[in-house]
Amino acid sequence: MAYFVISDIHGSAADLQTVLTKYQQGTYEGLLILGDFLSHGPRNPLPEGYGPLDCIELLTPFAHDIIAVAGNCDAHVDETNLPFALPQENLFFWQGRKVMLHHGHLYSSHPRLLAGDVFLSGHTHIPTALKDNGILYGNPGSISLPKGGYAKSYAVLDDAFTVYDFQDNVLKSIAV
């Protein structure tokens, strides 16, 4: 079963609507969100379609599908308004391997992970799909404020970690 992966929404209701439509069009076990939900942050411009309250409204029907972590731009007040928890990290098991979710602002790997495990993070707004010592490191990029010359993007975790732009072109991919 596959997971749909996004990060760095930064309050863009327009871009969130785009990826939630894509999520609904597929068959996924869940929606992994890697932080930075509602605020654009002090170093970022306002994203297109900025609407933090609209983001809450858009995410609420999917609350039972979401596994999330807090980002560096998320505050306690964000968590009290979202219908799901925002821990600093989240660990679950999938296909016999550990999958660690973290925004990426505190660390970029984890000592509890072994070859075959998966570490997913956001924060950089730059898509990544690579393996190091057998651990898959994936970053879906940003749905609202991409950096490094990349387009707005999301990812799918199934037999590979694949990052797509909004036109569904593959930007990065690596087999799990």
pLDDT in tens, 3-20: 999 999 999 999 999 999
22 vs 46: CA distance, rounded Å: 23
User: Which domains does the chain possess?
Assistant: 3-175 (3.60.21.10)
What is the residue type of 112? R
Angle between helix 52-59 and helix 13-25 axes, rounded to 10 deg: 20
Q: 0.85 exceeded by the pTM?
A: yes
Please give the structure tokens belonging to residue 94.
């999938």
CA distances from 158 to 5, 90, 103 (A): 11, 18, 20
The predicted-structure confidence for 78-90, as pLDDT tens digits, reads as follows: 889 999 999 999 9
Per the CB < 8 A criterion, the answer to whether 153 and 141 are in contact is: yes
164 vs 162: CA distance, rounded Å: 7
| Average pLDDT over every residue of 95-114 | 91
Tell me the pLDDT band of 113, cut-offs 50, 70 and 90: very high
- State residue 151's pLDDT score: 98
First to last CA, the chain: 13
- State residue 152's pLDDT score: 98
